[in-house]
Structure 1
Amino acid sequence: MSAFALRKKLLAQQSQVASPSVDEANVIETGISTDSSKVATTPPKKARKARTTRHTSVERKEAFHRPSELPSDPVSTELSETFQSEVDEAPGSLSPFSVDEENEEYNINSPAQPINLSSFRLSKSNFRKKGNGLCQLKLGEGERLVILGSYGLRVESGEVTVYGATLKASKSVSWVHAPQSHALPVIRCTNEVTLELQSHPNAQGLKDLGTLSPLFRKLWRESLSSPSDGKDSRSRETFRILYTSEDGPKRAVLQDLKSPAEWNREMAAFIASKDLAPSIMITGPKSSGKSTFGKILTNRLLTRTHTHARRPSNRGIVVLDLDPGQPEYCGAGQIALVLVTKPVLSPSFCRPLDVPGIRTVRSHALASLSPASDPELYIEMALDLITHYRNAFGSYPLVINTPGWIQGTGLDLLVSLIGELRPSEVIYMSQTGPADAVEALGGACNATRFSTLPSHPNQISLRTAIHLRSMQTMAYFHAEPAVPENSGIDFRWVQKPLTAMAPWQVRFRGASRGIFGFLCYDFQTQPDLVADAINGAVLAVVEIENTKAFRDIKTHQSVPNNLKAEVTPGSVMELDITEVSEAKSPPLSLLQDRITTLTSEGIPFIDTSLGLTLDPRYSRSLGLALVRGIDVENGDLHLLCPITTNQVEDVRTRGGQIILVSGKFDPPSWAYTEDLYFQSQGDEVDGNEGVGSRSRAESIEVDSEDMAGDSTTTSDGSTRSVPWIEILARNQKRGAGSKVWRVRRDLGRVGNPAG
């Protein structure tokens, strides 16, 4: 018997399971599969006949499993193998089994069977479509539900847990973003629950960022209907229920969010504790699950039910985010103190601005992705944030997230933070060492409980750390504050390149200039190179609250603002430095001419050659700004930033000033290629600006070439010239020594020779 005939015989022997009877049209429109009972398998690949005929039919039958043979407890299912579906999905069916029987042969070495994600199965009795695109689901005791995409969740009766948060019956909607780049949150219920799902109003805007960068593609649910069906893409549902790992898009790598048993026991101990305001510091190596554990812990503490609550009005958790490289609640290169009053159910790049339930109390700009740039300044910033916590939020629980730098100077910083912040609990997210780090951290916890937990890194590698950081920064500059709606969402996405946005025009010359000055952290730029250094770069916008922020004012040299002018008797430049430094609170305008030097373009530049930094006690970060251009003729800086006019006016009202700080931020290479991707999208959509339409640009795979942005060819074959972008042909390589040179420094690592 040939392999093809044997395969047909095996398929005929399989039992056919009838799908639930429910209105097909309604179910397809809501993105919910009616083929929930079918099990999709990967299309068989061709195999050698000689090898295929050596196996018996019994062995072949074991390669197929019916739904009843899948693991009954999907929580215990381990995602030990990566499964990629290579079959095109049939319209209206999320779990198809379709192969070309004439051209395909059965291969017993096919990938593992799909992972069972949701135990919930759609039927006529547990699903009902309501008006305005809402759908109502009824889940039984112990059932779980995994959804891909963006959606609103409202519990009508009972209670569910998602991302560690317990959601009870309420009229408010919890908004969830669940992209493929992160583990998908699981909706679990212990008793019978009735919940309502609805489309996310901001989902399409976030997805449309994929027209500007491939970083935002291949993350969300695919549309069930084709663009030619006449339906507006914005009217489609923004989520999809996943029954198995094959119910997602093609070639998708899906993983549900799991919390190890050791994590659950530790968090249960915090919930049961009588300490109403614990402070928990989370430490550990990189990619050990610190952010995931911190987010689940925050949600559980936030939604806990404590009978000993003395002040129920103080419902909230304070998060001290001290990781400038991978921050969860602020932009890269910053640390922040954040008040959380609603569960956090989305990745950081989906909420780049403050949203209802997440408010930034105070933040500082380190202007670097690592504390290694200035460890002393990093400690000072952390101490200022913890002081504000103790003064204003001392009765709230505190969760502290730390960087993954646990060796050398990084370990010394963690030991210092434990001594200064004095947390009640220190958790180390690894049980495999290194031993010197565990010993040092445990030794620093004199009056603090120290414990270790197993690491649980995200097994999905669709985006690296630098990609996620770029996505967060890009999302920040494409978010626009808006008037809060009834849904509680108070910002919207701008789906056009930054070059098409109207920038802030900030004067840097004259008496009415809008900025106090410009300074650099970690390195000193020559005055004649300042314009080139900041043009097209990301800067931190810092508010100077008091002249005491310039703590080292005596070290500033008395040089004239006009480099060609001379100091004349009686001029402001002859002001005695001692009088300024000893004044109780001199006005900032008195110091502006004293400590700034004008470049040839007229940009006020603050000399930091001696390592001068702003005092965190008298300054704070307002956010980030991207320098789009410098108008030397009119003396204007063109800045792009989501900072509102009210924020600037508040600074003026308090008598403060604004300084722009440069440092070691990631180069915004994504911003330089937005026009290229946007134009390639628009070449084929006939004036629709590439929003909500699928074209050649959207079909590009997210690979290293797309990330570098080297595709600059238009539809007519011409090539665009883009500043700061190196254009290479497919077979062209960079010359030797053309990559960025990185200087190795002695960061206090063990074993480095002194001197």
Structure 2
Amino acid sequence: MTREDEGVPVVLVCGPKSTGKSTFNRYLINLLLNRLPVVEYMECDIGQTEFTPPGCVSLSSVTEPVLGPPFTHQQMPCKMVYYGQTSCEQDTERYLDVVKYVFSCYKKEVPLVINTMGWVKGDGLLLLIDLIRLLSPSHVVQMDIYDWKAMPPLTPEHVHFSAGLHTKGKQQSKCKQLGADSMESWKYPEGEDTSAPQHKLLYVHPEFPRAGLAGEARVHSGILRDMSILGYLGHLQSPDIGAVLPLHSLVPYQVPFNAVALRVIHTDVAPSNIMYAVNASWVGLCCIPEEVRCQTDGPVLLTQTPVCDCLGFGIVRGVDMEKKLYHILTPVPPENLRLVNCLLLGNIAIPNCVLVGQQGIEGEIPYVTSDYNYSIMGSGKLRKKKQHLKRREFPFECDYT
């Protein structure tokens, strides 16, 4: 796989859920590592990430074979943005802005493998066409299922003439009417041929049992996401200690309210309730270019979600309203924490077993209650999740080593 104009292949892998995209990516990376010291990997599937906790778009340098599931090889990427959700259906424009921001760091010196979402129906297919136009891969590997007609072959001609979700085909204007700022941001890279894609399409028809049947997967996607978070939290543990320490026994960092900006990504929260939302939550530790200034002792609330570097993640273990301090547990090293000036709270939850399985606590467990009214509007997913966890009862020991 060579590319005459740029010298290195850029391979984008796409297809429906449960067709083997992740397995193919690992095999391809390992195959390339037999000949090269490093391979770049760009994660565009925010629901099933390979090297980071869920909800991220990232660019990673892979130097060792990828042999296990994602929770066994969590690592710090070269560039990472916390999108804050496992699906981008509600804000596809911000998703594409994040992808473009991360992709801009790719130096085109080594091969790049790009993973995409399994959402390839309706708007998901149109969004995939936008991604192909934006990333200009040299090869598109399309995982498909026999007799599955929802996804046409993504040939260069099809991508060239078909309208995407935010871009138009050749016979139409190049950009959707998104406003002056958005249209300016959707210019093609300088020197890029906008006439037609030149990628090679490689078709793969998986024939393994239950291919494409996401509902029959042996491990639920939500459990895989939880295990990735647990794998990340394992870095909080000291390698010299045999027993796993519960989170409440670890010493958190104290962060003044006015030292970091705060933003809830996925929903609108009244300023008077913001601390209730942040307490006991999973947050992205980010760095925005603007200096955080506050005339009072905080908190500093952002009105828009920034597209910015994410340096890692943490758990807000507590909020001290008297001293105006966040108490944050994180494995991010101190030299990187000095760069953090923004906390992003998304729709990624701390795994239940982290809260429920706290050892050494007598009486009521912090942040855990059974006194909850499931008739409240919007609590249906909580009831479903509760029943799902009860039914499975975790066949494995759930810790964060």
Match of 2:364 among 706, 715, 721: 721
> Corresponding residue for 1:671?
354
Match of 2:206 among 450, 455, 462: 455
Match of 1:364 among 78, 81, 90: 81
Paired residue secondary structure (2:80): strand
**Partner AA of 1:332 in structure 2:** P
Q: 1:432: how far off?
A: 2.6
Q: 1:297-696 counterparts in 2 under 5 A?
A: 297-304=28-35, 315-354=37-76, 360-389=77-106, 392=107, 394-432=108-146, 434-439=148-153, 443-444=158-159, 446-455=197-206, 462-480=218-236, 495-508=244-257, 513-515=258-260, 517-544=261-288, 546-547=289-290, 588-589=291-292, 592-593=293-294, 602-607=298-303, 612-614=304-306, 616=307, 619-649=308-338, 651=339, 658-675=341-358, 678=359
* Contact 2:155–2:200 (8 Å) recurs in 1: no
User: Structure 1 residues 375, 433: CA separation in 2 closer, same or farther (over 3 Å shift)?
Assistant: farther
> Corresponding residue for 1:40?
none
* Contact 2:237–2:244 (8 Å) recurs in 1: no
* Contact 1:411–1:437 (8 Å) recurs in 2: yes
User: Structure 1 residues 409, 340: CA separation in 2 closer, same or farther (over 3 Å shift)?
Assistant: same
Paired residue secondary structure (1:373): coil
CA distance in 2, matches of 1:493, 1:379: 44
**Partner AA of 2:284 in structure 1:** A
User: Structure 1 residues 538, 456: CA separation in 2 closer, same or farther (over 3 Å shift)?
Assistant: farther
Q: 1:299: how far off?
A: 0.4
**Partner AA of 2:67 in structure 1:** L
Q: Deviations over 1:285-313 (max 9, x none)?
A: 11111111000100001103xxxxxxxxx
Q: 1:533: how far off?
A: 0.6
State yes or no: 1:740 paired with 2:363: no
* Contact 2:154–2:201 (8 Å) recurs in 1: no
CA distance in 1, matches of 2:103, 2:37: 19
> Corresponding residue for 2:24?
293
State yes or no: 1:281 paired with 2:12: yes
* Contact 2:12–2:140 (8 Å) recurs in 1: yes
* Contact 1:414–1:441 (8 Å) recurs in 2: no
Q: Which has the higher contact order (CA 8 A, sep 6+)?
A: 2
Paired residue secondary structure (2:105): helix
**Partner AA of 1:469 in structure 2:** R
Q: 1:537: how far off?
A: 1.0
**Partner AA of 2:274 in structure 1:** V
Q: 1:494: how far off?
A: 7.3
* Contact 1:478–1:494 (8 Å) recurs in 2: no
User: Structure 1 residues 503, 735: CA separation in 2 closer, same or farther (over 3 Å shift)?
Assistant: closer
The alignment of Structure 1 onto Structure 2 pairs a total of residues equal to 339
CA distance in 2, matches of 1:532, 1:378: 27
* Contact 1:289–1:457 (8 Å) recurs in 2: no
CA distance in 1, matches of 2:102, 2:363: 47
Paired residue secondary structure (2:314): strand
Q: 1:7-18 counterparts in 2 under 5 A?
A: none
Q: 1:454: how far off?
A: 1.9
CA distance in 1, matches of 2:206, 2:242: 35
Q: Deviations over 1:389-432 (max 9, x none)?
A: 0xx3x120110000111112211111001001010111111133
CA distance in 1, matches of 2:240, 2:87: 30
**Partner AA of 1:374 in structure 2:** D
Q: 1:495: how far off?
A: 1.3
User: Structure 1 residues 387, 739: CA separation in 2 closer, same or farther (over 3 Å shift)?
Assistant: closer
Paired residue secondary structure (1:466): helix
* Contact 2:138–2:199 (8 Å) recurs in 1: yes
Q: Deviations over 1:113-166 (max 9, x none)?
A: xxxxxxxxxxxxxxxxxxxxxxxxxxxxxxxxxxxxxxxxxxxxxxxxxxxxxx
Q: 1:724: how far off?
A: 4.0
CA distance in 1, matches of 2:298, 2:6: 57
**Partner AA of 2:86 in structure 1:** L
Q: Deviations over 1:238-283 (max 9, x none)?
A: xxxxxxxxxxxxxxxxxxxxxxxxxxxxxxxx49x99961111000
TM-score using structure 1 length: 0.42
* Contact 1:625–1:641 (8 Å) recurs in 2: yes
Q: 1:373: how far off?
A: 3.1
* Contact 2:43–2:115 (8 Å) recurs in 1: yes
Paired residue secondary structure (1:437): coil
User: Structure 1 residues 292, 330: CA separation in 2 closer, same or farther (over 3 Å shift)?
Assistant: same
Q: Deviations over 1:582-620 (max 9, x none)?
A: xxxxxx25xx238xxx7xx9422223xxxx231x3xx20
Q: 1:7-86 counterparts in 2 under 5 A?
A: none
Q: Which has the larger radius of gyration?
A: 1
TM-score using structure 2 length: 0.76
* Contact 1:429–1:454 (8 Å) recurs in 2: yes
Paired residue secondary structure (1:339): strand
User: Structure 1 residues 501, 325: CA separation in 2 closer, same or farther (over 3 Å shift)?
Assistant: same
Question: Is there any run of 5+ residues in structure 1 with no aligned partner, and where?
Answer: 1-269, 305-313, 355-359, 483-489, 548-587, 652-656, 681-718, 743-755
CA distance in 2, matches of 1:367, 1:627: 16
Paired residue secondary structure (2:78): strand
Q: 1:76-155 counterparts in 2 under 5 A?
A: none
* Contact 1:283–1:404 (8 Å) recurs in 2: yes
User: Structure 1 residues 481, 734: CA separation in 2 closer, same or farther (over 3 Å shift)?
Assistant: closer
Tell me the C-alpha RMSD between the 2 structures. 3.2
CA distance in 2, matches of 1:458, 1:506: 51
User: Structure 1 residues 374, 735: CA separation in 2 closer, same or farther (over 3 Å shift)?
Assistant: closer
CA distance in 2, matches of 1:493, 1:479: 14
User: Structure 1 residues 662, 736: CA separation in 2 closer, same or farther (over 3 Å shift)?
Assistant: closer
